[in-house]
Amino acid sequence: MSSEPLSASDQSNHASARVRSMLERVLVPLVRVLVRHHVSFNTFSDIAKQAYVRVTTDEFGLSGRPASKSRVALLTGINRRDVSRIQADADAADSLEMFGPAFRLVSRWIRGDNYQDEHGDPRAIPLEGPAPSFAALVADCCPDVPATAVLRELLHSGVCMQTDAATPLLELQQVGYVPREDVAAKLDLLGTDVAALLSTISHNISEPDAPLFQRKVSFPQLSPAGIQALLRVASSDGQDLLRRLDKQLAPLQSDDASGRFAGLGIYAFVEDADTDGDFGTTRTSDTSLD
């Protein structure tokens, strides 16, 4: 027996409750990071206000024009004085690099033609000398950072190792850079990776007829042995897939304005038993919301 359709008021209340629940789930892990790094609520509130104004100004104008102060104030509930101040500061805001120097260096090492062997794999390189060398990579990717600091981070992270040969060489041990103690780099990852995932979900909500790939498999009561198997498969098979994509797509990058930030992310998650996050029943998720 089918239930009666919800009234417009009930539908609105239901949607509001779902949005509130979604927002709480997103914010709990984020606030955990913010508090750990001594970011106050006032700072978070200021940044959130800036994001509201800039997104509304850029994306919710009329007739293809940026939204006016009055329209932004109407849609966001932020007073016109704050809207005016944030809009005036938008052009002067510092631009942030999408990736840090270590990311750029490892990427160049993996993808640079003269840094690959006959099989297309990253070759072992000397510390000094002309390209291909570590000194040349540092000079090209992060000239303002001391080479010794970059080398120390990559060795400590296990990204590369130094051979014991008479003339030491550096060998990549991981096809990618995963920082261990570089907190700034980890926070950069939080910003880029979470933003990319949220952008994908936002696109799939607003463009259901042209969805981007968005899938996961999750288990509400996975055993310790199952968790170990999950992490092992994610590390091996996931890395193999990302490496194949990197080799296939790196030559297709564009140097002009037609290029866009795009990619594929793979992540494993393991939550505590008392977590507030409910990942649902065992299934492979799709892009729908029902």
C-alpha 46, offset from chain centre: 22
E strands, 206-270, where?
A: 217-218
Per-residue pLDDT tens, the chain, 290 aa: give them.
455 665 666 666 777 888 888 888 888 888 888 887 778 888 899 999 999 999 999 999 999 899 999 999 999 999 999 999 988 886 544 444 445 677 788 888 988 888 988 888 889 999 999 999 999 999 998 888 888 888 988 888 788 899 877 788 999 887 665 555 566 667 777 778 888 888 898 889 889 999 999 998 999 999 999 999 999 999 889 988 988 898 888 888 887 878 888 999 988 999 875 444 443 333 333 333 33
How many Å apart are CA 31 and CA 11, to the nearest integer?
A: 30
**Partner residues linked to 116 by β-bridges:** 122
pTM: 0.54
* Number of residues in the chain: 290
Total Cβ atoms within 10 A of residue 218 = 16
